[in-house]
Structure 1
């Protein structure tokens, strides 16, 4: 073999080795680029996931979210966002306004002693009742969510029927279930559903139960509670006819049974109602005409379809 061929073969071999080395280096660089790119994508994906979780964590929930929810008014309501609850004979000439808070112990005492008398007057068509239900006790040092939560559940009951609403309200106020003012029992849906199971119209009613657990009427409850202070009312229970605040005579502070107390409380409620509206039909007493004040504008309560000029604060 000549020296020339030997040198040529060696040069060719070196060129092959160099080309192979460059090919392997390019392959390694490409591999590293792919690994780095994958790592960057992974980091971005993790960062994006963390950002999404932080965003979700910062989204309002519960009653904060309810403030921005679309208003859903129960059936059997009227007025702006359904905040007027008028129950009774549409032909009744008078409207009694009742202001309550479900956590209010005095409201519970009234319902337990006198609620049946009020319900009878509604049934007899003596007057209609506009219920203004507030939630201010949740904002007192007692704290909690029971007033709002119970009011939302009452909205679900009202959506079923006015009768279901009245029976459920009475059950929530009952001596068996109504909690102490400082105890936020009604902040729990399970407790509200337990009480509802005692109301025939609500027991096993899936539509009602779903509305309670999903908070369908949470925004409505907030809108109702926002009317606190309407007509200057800052305490519960309060009774009004037009712009006139009515006062129930107090039961004497003396030792008596619960039955005796209830009898006196009902009698005092009757005195207040008779003084304002005149004796009930069939009472045997002379009818002196419509009792009480009709207000400065001669209004006899808020009639269906009429605008309540005091509704806004």
Structure 2
């Protein structure tokens, strides 16, 4: 069935009568960062496979600091935090960028304070419904940043979503590796990081990005940005996703007190 994307009340919404179908499986995936013993990304020499050939589920490379089946669980924060914030975004989505710009610093502060840990989920709604590959390509690059450190992941994500760098909805600039590398120069840990650059250029985390996107498609969440605290969706004025730091903090406080 045909699919369509629309921005409604600051939320990118996907309508897809066939979104339940997905190719591939998360079975037979080997966990571990690139080059780790037994990693699906190793060619047997202990080095990551950079051949650039087609990668199936059996040789999936998962970033360090990811976990779960297929390495698609990305949780950042104190392990002992009693609460979990789930954040659903599309890296190419303008409403998601606006949300990140307004609320991202508050989420980063709450992570450090131990208010909650954050589980990140990523879609490719715009790739699927407008054409292009910027959502998936940026997610692959973000996986390379996660492999460096959780803080690097957060910093690079913020840079990708910033008003300075984020493209308009009609543009697919994140499909260009050169643009992703240019943005990475704003992140101290990535400025001279050869491993990050190689992983981005070689598409090391492309299969991982596809699995992340498949997990989003199976999640039942149809719009981005969406935020849930302990499984309950957070809303601001008008019942939409909180659009400001004040709305977000108020929604979190109400949920925690309730």
Question: Equivalent of 1:274, from 245, 253, 258?
Answer: 253
Question: Any conservation in 2 of the 1:239–1:246 contact (CA below 8 Å)?
Answer: yes
Residue 244 of structure 1: how far off its partner (Å): 2.1
Greater RCO, 1 or 2 (C-alpha within 8 Å, sep 6+): 2
Q: TM-score, normalised by structure 2?
A: 0.75
Residue 112 of structure 1: how far off its partner (Å): 1.1
Task: Please state if 1:157 is matched with 2:136.
Answer: no
For structure 1, list consecutive stretches of 5 or more residues without a partner in the other structure. Answer: 1-61, 252-261, 279-290, 292-313
After superposition, give the CA deviation of every residue in 1:258-285 in whole Å (9 maximum; x if it has no partner). xxxx9x811111111101123xxxxxxx
Matching residue of 1:131 = 120
After superposition, give the CA deviation of every residue in 1:129-149 in whole Å (9 maximum; x if it has no partner). 000011121010x21010010
For structure 2, list consecutive stretches of 5 or more residues without a partner in the other structure. Answer: 1-51
SS at match of 1:98: strand
Question: Equivalent of 2:235, from 220, 240, 247?
Answer: 247
Question: Any conservation in 2 of the 1:152–1:220 contact (CA below 8 Å)?
Answer: yes
Question: Any conservation in 1 of the 2:133–2:172 contact (CA below 8 Å)?
Answer: yes
Query: Aligned equivalents of 2:178 and 2:189: distance in 1?
Result: 18
Question: Any conservation in 1 of the 2:229–2:252 contact (CA below 8 Å)?
Answer: no
Runs of 4+ in 1 over 4 A off after TM superposition: 66-69
Matching residue of 2:201 = 213
Higher strand share: 2
RMSD: 2.1
Distance 1:246 1:98, change over 3 A: same
Residue 235 of structure 1: how far off its partner (Å): 0.9
Residue 231 of structure 1: how far off its partner (Å): 3.7
Task: Please state if 1:223 is matched with 2:202.
Answer: no
Question: Equivalent of 1:87, from 67, 76, 82?
Answer: 76
Residue 232 of structure 1: how far off its partner (Å): 1.5
SS at match of 1:111: helix
SS at match of 2:118: strand
Question: Any conservation in 2 of the 1:249–1:272 contact (CA below 8 Å)?
Answer: no
Query: Aligned equivalents of 1:228 and 1:202: distance in 2?
Result: 27
Question: Any conservation in 1 of the 2:89–2:224 contact (CA below 8 Å)?
Answer: yes
Task: Please state if 1:143 is matched with 2:122.
Answer: no
Residue 67 of structure 1: how far off its partner (Å): 5.2
Aligned length: 206
Distance 1:160 1:117, change over 3 A: same
Question: Equivalent of 2:87, from 74, 84, 98?
Answer: 98
Residue 65 of structure 1: how far off its partner (Å): 3.1
